Amino acid sequence: MATIVLVHGVWMDASVWRDVIPALQQAGHSVHGVQLPLTSFEDDVAATRRVLGHAAGDITLVGHSYGGAVITAAAAEDARVKKLVYIAGLAAEAGEVFGALMGMKPPAAQIDLQPDAEGFLWVTAEQFQDALAHDVPHEQIALLTAVQKPYAAKLFGASLPLPAWKTRPSWYLVAAVDRILSPTTQRILAQRIGATMREVDASHTPQLSKPQAVLAIIQEAAAA
């Protein structure tokens, strides 16, 4: 069985994988969930590499949303990472600013945010519901809002030097009714990195609304 390392996106933590981790473990995989600090891109890559260093064996590295950019950088110098899986993820090219990917094709919803006094961005329950997780039950929205991890606004001004997808096989799960990262953008990203592409009728957080689809593509990649 492969080792699976899961990397979350912004406003969330590793608990967003709570419906996926037990099933992977029951299938015999060793699973690790990275807790990103979301303070800088460099900090997030370092946190991911720390977990990779702790993990054993060949690794399938999974990134959701902004976590896709993180895994693209973190895996570049780790030969034990054999496969990459993007869940509605930012699969960036070298030198490409992450924020530009968000606006490649207009999303269905726009979130107007202002950084707090320390330069971090927060969202409301309404923004979670309308833009990020419109197919997730209300009680889960309340939980996401309560435990959200704000992110440093500068994250989406970062870029990466060497994309790992150039040297590793990759898989991409398109969230077909995503309101914050256009499904059209996701398909473009998947195609240009040569990923095996799957789709699910889900919002930007399919690991919460359609965990079986997320589980299926991770297992497909791990078994390939």
Q: Which of 15, 30, 65, 170 is catalytic?
A: 65
Query: Quick check: is 30 catalytic?
Result: no
Beta strand pairing call for 196-200 and 120-121: unpaired
Cβ burial of 92 (10 Å; 0-12, 13-18, 19+) is buried
Beta strand pairing call for 59-64 and 81-87: parallel
Q: What sign results for the dihedral spanned by CA atoms 15, 17, 18, 24?
A: negative
What strands, in cross-sheet order, belong to the sheet with 59-64? 30-34, 3-7, 59-64, 81-87, 170-175, 196-200
Which helix (H) or strand (E) segment is 184 a member of? helix 183-192
Catalytically active residues, by annotation: 65
